[in-house]
Chains A and B, each alone.
Chain A
Amino acid sequence: MKKAPFAVVITLLLVFSFIFTNVLACSNQTPTPKKPLKVGFSIPLTGRAAEKGAPIGQGQLDAMKYINDELGGVDGNKIEVAWYDTNYDAPKATAIVKKLMEDGCLFFTVVASADMSASKEIANRAGFPGMVCFSSPSLTHPPQHIYAQLPDYGDDWAAFSRYYLKNIWKGPGKPKMALELLSNSTGYGVRDAARAAADELGIEIIAVEEHSATTISETDALTRIKAKNPDILFISSTPAPTAILLKNASDLKMIPGLTVACAHASFTKALIDSAGKDVCQDVYGVYPTVNWGDNVPGMAKMVEYGKARHPEYTGNNDYMIGWASSLINAEIIKQALKTSSVDALAKGDATAWQLVEKNGFLNVKGYDVGGLHGPVDFSDPVDKRGSKSVKIFQIKSGQMVALTTDWVDAPNIKYETLDWFGK
């Protein structure tokens, strides 16, 4: 029959190609040469969080360049960076953390709390330590292998509440606070913190309103809040909805008069630009870093690199957060190299991860990050926050003015002891 030889030919071809690809695949796994020290970055450079993700990511990368070029790496070892853009997409973030583990990174740094939420389970299962710039209570409670660079939004709320009670509240009884929250982890961090600690601190929460990131007008929610006569309005959101809230509040004649405070997600120059100086006058804010241009040791280099490489981020405190996080990365490796050898760490496998966590992370005590933000301490086994302090600012004539010279401590709220936590 004519078809039989064809069939035989095809079958043989397939078998040969099968064997051939096997050989190719095996040949890929040649022994690799000596590996450098590698860290991984997971950055939402594009997508819905790009407004904050882009400056932070660029800060991270510029600082790494500074460390490698000018400081010669850590103890003479250059640090290689593997970074991927998550596009603020949860499945992508998960896939990226797996890729970073594959790439042999020592540990990874994630910018956005939502991306870390998506990545933490896989990292915790494998013991792959990670640091997150913008944290939320569910990432560090219960404490495992995830460390927070800065206090989270709940901590902002707690720190501001303490400051308010000590310095601003004069009247009898408890102040009445209304919360306006973004309907995602940015807002829910404050909601959980308020639920956990409001009674203890001495604050009465009279209203909790949520809004979405795409809202056009919040007049109706603010009308409801106004009807309950609050003393403080605490907003935890991103700049655009916060600007709308402030404008609506001003329309309703709630401000000036009401004390308004913002958590650090929205307290940036973008807020002042989009809401306008008049509406923002006297608004309080919590931010975990110093202000751009303050006189601290680490400021000069950062400003120099920022102006040279990314002038569009001048004055943007988010760039500072990214810069600081790379400095912390370098400090972690430096501590780890004191006890472990470069080769053991450079392997980038599970043993290397354990070493870098035990000898690196847990040995970072009181690192001052050039004064750019509160001192970083990862040695507490229960409190996985690096910097535990913030600064309180107030907007005066379109400028953010620091009200405190020292760092204000944000107390550690033990969420895992509360049975409603995590819901």
Chain B
Amino acid sequence: MSLPCGTRNYSYNTDMAIIRTKTQWVLFSLFLLALFTMPFYLPSSWFDIVNSIGILLVAIIGLNILMGYCGQLSLGHAGFMAVGAFTTAIFTNSLHLPYLASFLCSGLSAGLIGLIFGIPSLRVKGFYLAISTIAAQFIIIWVLKNWTDVTHGANGLNVSQASIGNFVFDSEAKQYYLIFSIASLSVLFATNLARSRIGRAFIAIRDNDLAAEVMGINVFNYKLLGFFLGCFFAGLAGSLYAQYKGHISYEDFTFQQSILYIGMLIIGGLGSSLGPILGTVIIESLQKGLTYWVAPWLEQTITFLPTGFSSGLNLMVFGLAFILILIFEPRGLAHLWSLFKGSYRLWPFSY
């Protein structure tokens, strides 16, 4: 059901490819074209939303690898982003490394910290692991807050914008290209990871880790690898966030953000390549749309309620969406999309 009928493959390569039919190639090329020419026709006030969607996409892809493929609950993703962000800030400011080097280093450092906090996954599963990742989040933020020699505590750190050699990404459009190139590469990586040996091991662990161990998969190694990869992408996202925003402090990475990321992932759909993309786009647009357009309009029209009531709206709408998706479609919007594709292909039973 996942391919139109009449698709025939004559070699193993074509059978295993991601894009199989000519229609899919055309659509994909058009999409890529649209994506990479967007800065030319996007209204300038939308750049902020689109760029933050791109940054979050990288983080949520990491979370997808960890939660969607490997099945390990992680409620501390914002903390790992913070590690990446601060690494970039420190490396570019104090050590004066070029941006790309500190970019990779932030991924590595976040991955290593994730590795350390992933060690409990050997002993516990499910809710206990979730609690230990919550503790990880708070511990990381505490360290960032109190290690003031390095992180400047509440004052935060200023980060200059990314630059490759002499080319500085100083406009929103240039940032767009940087962010979306990295995001596209991440999506490519994650999709291929899921189809590789490592990905299959992850999925086996997610489905039943005792059985996976019995089958000979080294569960501990792969769980740690899952944490490393997931937090690596979180670190990359944190690095992009730091240079995009220009100023970071420990207050930017709260537990509420972690819940938001989980929400994006689950609403989009765990364990698929399309899921993180859908989730991030929809939830982030919802949040920004509510803050910028709906809230001021509501404040002006409904004046009999105490002012400021609309800021709760953001949280309520997200919480409600989250609960409703969990009740009605726990596999997320990506699953709904694949159902739609299937029904479109099969109806009206033309053959």
Does B149 contact A423, Cβ atoms closer than 8 Å?
A: yes
Q: Which B286-342 residues sit within 8 Å CB-CB of chain A?
A: 288, 291-292, 295-296, 307-312, 314
Does A87 contact B30, Cβ atoms closer than 8 Å?
A: no
Task: Write out the residue numbers on chain B whose beta carbons fall within 8 Å of the beta carbon of A184.
Answer: 154
Number of interface residues of A (CB under 8 A): 50
A109 CB–B CB distance under 8 Å? no
Residue of B nearest to A1 (CB): B6
> Nearest Cβ distance between residue A310 and chain B, in whole angstroms?
9
Does B247 contact A120, Cβ atoms closer than 8 Å?
A: yes
CA distance A1 to B7 in the complex (A): 11
Does A98 contact B22, Cβ atoms closer than 8 Å?
A: no
A222 CB–B CB distance under 8 Å? no
A45 CB–B CB distance under 8 Å? yes
> Nearest Cβ distance between residue B219 and chain A, in whole angstroms?
37
Does B6 contact A46, Cβ atoms closer than 8 Å?
A: no
Does A98 contact B48, Cβ atoms closer than 8 Å?
A: yes
Does B45 contact A423, Cβ atoms closer than 8 Å?
A: no
Does B311 contact A99, Cβ atoms closer than 8 Å?
A: no
Task: Write out the residue numbers on chain B whose beta carbons fall within 8 Å of the beta carbon of A114.
Answer: 154, 251
> Known: A99-B45, A423-B153. Contact between A91 and B245, CB under 8 A?
yes
> Nearest Cβ distance between residue B317 and chain A, in whole angstroms?
14
- Binary contact track A170-186/B, C-beta < 8 Å → 1, others 0: 00000000000001110
Does A121 contact B158, Cβ atoms closer than 8 Å?
A: yes
Task: Write out the residue numbers on chain A whose beta carbons fall within 8 Å of the beta carbon of B21.
Answer: 7
Task: Write out the residue numbers on chain A whose beta carbons fall within 8 Å of the beta carbon of B308.
Answer: 45-46, 50, 54, 85
Does B246 contact A122, Cβ atoms closer than 8 Å?
A: yes
Task: Write out the residue numbers on chain A whose beta carbons fall within 8 Å of the beta carbon of B52.
Answer: 95
CA distance A96 to B5 in the complex (A): 50
Partner of B251, one of A45, A87, A90: A90
> Known: A84-B292, A90-B252, A99-B45. Contact between A3 and B158, CB under 8 A?
no
> Nearest Cβ distance between residue A139 and chain B, in whole angstroms?
9
- Binary contact track B141-161/A, C-beta < 8 Å → 1, others 0: 000010011001111101100
CA distance A114 to B6 in the complex (A): 61
Does A121 contact B307, Cβ atoms closer than 8 Å?
A: no
> Known: A87-B311, A95-B48, A99-B45. Contact between A117 and B295, CB under 8 A?
no
Task: Write out the residue numbers on chain A whose beta carbons fall within 8 Å of the beta carbon of B4.
Answer: 3
Partner of A95, one of B22, B44, B288, B312: B288
Does A25 contact B245, Cβ atoms closer than 8 Å?
A: no
Partner of B43, one of A28, A118, A183: A28
Residue of A nearest to B288 (CB): A95
Partner of A25, one of B22, B43, B291, B295: B43
Residue of B nearest to A122 (CB): B246
CA distance A397 to B150 in the complex (A): 46
Q: What is the interface of chain A mostly: helix, strand, loop, or mixed?
A: helix
B34 CB–A CB distance under 8 Å? yes
CA distance A414 to B149 in the complex (A): 20
Task: Write out the residue numbers on chain A whose beta carbons fall within 8 Å of the beta carbon of B296.
Answer: 83-84
Task: Write out the residue numbers on chain B whose beta carbons fall within 8 Å of the beta carbon of A83.
Answer: 296
- Binary contact track A1-41/B, C-beta < 8 Å → 1, others 0: 11100010011001100100010011011000000000000
> Known: A85-B311, A423-B152. Contact between A121 and B247, CB under 8 A?
yes
Partner of A94, one of B153, B247, B291, B309: B247
Task: Write out the residue numbers on chain B whose beta carbons fall within 8 Å of the beta carbon of A423.
Answer: 148-149, 152-153, 155
Partner of A10, one of B23, B44, B245: B23
How many A-B pairs fall under 8 Å by CB? 115
A422 CB–B CB distance under 8 Å? yes
A220 CB–B CB distance under 8 Å? no
Partner of B41, one of A14, A25, A119: A25
CA distance A399 to B211 in the complex (A): 72
Residue of B nearest to A26 (CB): B41
CA distance A11 to B28 in the complex (A): 11
A238 CB–B CB distance under 8 Å? no
Residue of A nearest to B145 (CB): A183
> Nearest Cβ distance between residue A140 and chain B, in whole angstroms?
12
Task: Write out the residue numbers on chain A whose beta carbons fall within 8 Å of the beta carbon of B288.
Answer: 95
Does A58 contact B307, Cβ atoms closer than 8 Å?
A: yes
A166 CB–B CB distance under 8 Å? no
Task: Write out the residue numbers on chain B whose beta carbons fall within 8 Å of the beta carbon of A226.
Answer: none
Task: Write out the residue numbers on chain B whose beta carbons fall within 8 Å of the beta carbon of A28.
Answer: 43
B280 CB–A CB distance under 8 Å? no
B16 CB–A CB distance under 8 Å? no
B17 CB–A CB distance under 8 Å? no
CA distance A84 to B145 in the complex (A): 27
Partner of A185, one of B22, B155, B252: B155
B26 CB–A CB distance under 8 Å? yes
Task: Write out the residue numbers on chain B whose beta carbons fall within 8 Å of the beta carbon of A1.
Answer: 6
> Nearest Cβ distance between residue B260 and chain A, in whole angstroms?
11
Does B6 contact A94, Cβ atoms closer than 8 Å?
A: no
B42 CB–A CB distance under 8 Å? yes
A138 CB–B CB distance under 8 Å? yes
Does A94 contact B44, Cβ atoms closer than 8 Å?
A: no
A267 CB–B CB distance under 8 Å? no
> Nearest Cβ distance between residue A123 and chain B, in whole angstroms?
9
Q: Which B88-146 residues sit within 8 Å CB-CB of chain A?
A: 145
CA distance A423 to B23 in the complex (A): 57
Residue of A nearest to B52 (CB): A95
> Known: A3-B6, A99-B48, A102-B44. Contact between A92 and B291, CB under 8 A?
yes
Which interface residue of A7, A26, A28 has the most chain B CB atoms within 10 A?
A7
Does B22 contact A7, Cβ atoms closer than 8 Å?
A: yes
B64 CB–A CB distance under 8 Å? no
A47 CB–B CB distance under 8 Å? yes
Residue of A nearest to B22 (CB): A7
CA distance A91 to B41 in the complex (A): 26
Does B312 contact A46, Cβ atoms closer than 8 Å?
A: yes
Task: Write out the residue numbers on chain A whose beta carbons fall within 8 Å of the beta carbon of B350.
Answer: 2
> Nearest Cβ distance between residue B348 and chain A, in whole angstroms?
12
Q: Which B207-238 residues sit within 8 Å CB-CB of chain A?
A: none
B contacts, CB < 8 Å to A:
4-6, 21-23, 26-27, 30, 34, 41-45, 48, 52, 145, 148-149, 152-156, 158-159, 245-247, 249, 251-252, 288, 291-292, 295-296, 307-312, 314, 350-351
- Lowest 9 A-B CB distances belong to which pairs? A121-B246, A121-B247, A46-B311, A45-B308, A7-B23, A138-B155, A46-B308, A185-B154, A90-B252
CB pairs A–B below 8 angstroms (8 shown): A47-B311, A90-B252, A94-B245, A102-B44, A118-B156, A118-B247, A122-B246, A185-B155
13 further contact pairs, Cβ within 8 A, besides A45-B308, A84-B295 = A7-B21, A7-B22, A11-B23, A14-B27, A18-B30, A22-B41, A45-B307, A84-B291, A84-B292, A90-B249, A117-B154, A121-B247, A188-B154
